[in-house]
Structure 1
Amino acid sequence: MMRKNETNQNPPSEGGNQKQKEAGRANDVANGSILNNEGNTELNEYNEYREVLLRRISKFKDMLFVESPYNALIRDLENWVYSARVIGNSNNEWEVKVREILYKIGDRMLQLCRQAREEWFRVHYGELNKLFEGLLRSEVRVINDKRLVLRSENLTITINRIKTRKVTIRLVLKGLLGVNIRVPKLFNGYLRRATLSGWVLSDEGRDRGRPMMFTAYTWQALLWALVHGGRIHIRIYAIDINDDGITVIWQLRAGHKRISKDSAIKWVVKFNDEEFTNFLFFFTLGDGSIDIKKQRIRLYIYKRGLEQLIDKLRNYGFIEEGDGRLALYTAKAKGLAKKWYNMWGIVIDALSELKDAEKLRRIKTLAMLD
């Protein structure tokens, strides 16, 4: 992998004393010995963020200081790519074609993860260690009392609050340039309009007029690349340290011009039932949730100017629940999930094998309910 900047930081040796030392230091934080030595019992915004970061670093010290943040994803992708390969003896030509394309994309993503793991121990590991030490000495930069930011040459840590209580921690990694791949265009006509509209009106962004996506889900990155087709740029953008684990953040950019929100709305309001069902599948994958226990499909309308879409959803049977939420329940929800699985079952089955594809597995489960 090409890098913008080089560094003289030496990687820690496998199983060396440095890894054990840093893991032990993080463990001291978990036990409270380092925090107590600071002697500051008054927690303001800064100290709260600082404590959250220290606690999470200590919680995942093995993944950060002994293994790497990429190991779990590498294992998952290795298993998945193997399964995508062995499906080649299927009698379903369409399934074979879809699997082959997904395997090609997944294999390149796997290569990026392996290269990023090398860079972690060569560069980012050492810089995280320095920032960790700087945090203990209070050598940080605070912006507007809303974010706590620590920067080094190739690594930026941002601690931020969203909503009322949730605190997010993101490690942005510099120098990982990614790869360009060519993805065959499988979808044309109304199907392409329906799929692209679903992304545009949910959580897809744009970069210089091109479609762009940040995602923490490997399955979503694969599906986004499959649907867009053409030249796709993929790179690892960041690592999120959450309460429940460490997540790799992907950034994807397509080479074609992005359709506008206004154009997407014009298409959607004219879609027939089949077209709108396809659109709903991709909109839900972006800004929706599936609840098996309540037999519910819920959509979240966050973007402005989508009144026409809301009207069409009402006519389709969705119930408004306030705060931009609309939902289908029981028979209607199961009926929609069945339509989705009939249309996209091959893709759902292929991607459901990834560990992070819980939403796809829930769609399949909902579709199978009586």
Structure 2
Amino acid sequence: MSAWLFVGSVFMIFFAYFGYPLSLKLMRPRHASVRKMSILPSVTFIIAAYNEEKRIRQKLEDTLALDYPGEKFQVIVASDGSTDGTADIVGEFEGRGVDFIQMAGRSGKEKAQKAALGHARGDIVIFSDVATALDPHGVRVIVANFADPSVGCVSSEDRLLTRDGKPCGEGVYVRYEMWVRRVESEVHSVVGLSGSFFAARKEVCRDFSGEMQSDFRMLLSAVEMGYRGVSDPKVLGYYKDIADPDKELERKVRTVVRGLTVFFESRRFLNPFRFGLFAYQLLGHKLCRWLVPFFLVIVFGANLVLALSSFFFCLLFVCQAVFYGIAAAEYVRKVPFAHSVLRIPGYFVTVNIAIALAWKLYWSGHRIVMWTSSER
């Protein structure tokens, strides 16, 4: 029994991270590459902000400097009950065409975005966080994807910056995640969008929820309407490392809890007779990935039992112990290892601890609507 549990759990872990994307690679692509074209539809650029007086001025200056015709470019800032100087700073830009919405009290990022949508005039709606920087031609590039009638929403790719704003290696895991999204785009649709910078057709936003994670739910709305979501490697969103590494686990837990909330509210998308390949993608990319912490515990326990009677399994158990030991050492040091390979265990363990904690919060009835931007 221990051997079967070990083998089965190892298989599920492998499938979640490698088997799923490789299975997509083996499929005959349903869609060819996105048929992009230089188009200039009207665009509404929405920025949700909460107490962003330190960063909102630069964000607005950069946004207004983006290469897109001013008469077709509407910028809306929705302040989620900010109590600092955010409103005063945004007010300085109203004469330059920036629309400002002040929520009466704090109610959450999605409700602020929904309020902004009520004033949106553009055919394409772009959502961007204050902390995310865009390339000068970012809007033109992301909009070009909507020349393809099958595309309902478009995700950017993430790029990390050092503290002084210079590009840096974004880490093995982020590069892996971006690769998975490219594979999904080639075959059918991505299963997730980068919440810091993504775009959607306005009609896809009609059923916008003010209670649930906007990027994930927006994608599901697009799929339900017969569209697909794609990731464009030429559309980049730059953001800095989180200033306080101790907050990284908290951020991951919050993200997964919000994702689980959308997933279980949208279980109908797991019906392959209605949603075809996307149902498989949702199961493989989301649910299987979120089940990995449980499989890891089974692998560790089963391996311990098997190690008592087998040199081979004893060796595997030592490898596991070394892997987790490296992760623990990095946590104790509070400083990432210099070599990227040595950082993999720490990041992998952090991600899966966050997922396990998120499950606990979700099943205890905890839901996350409020949000505070991470200090970067």
TM-score by length of 1: 0.30
TM-score by length of 2: 0.30
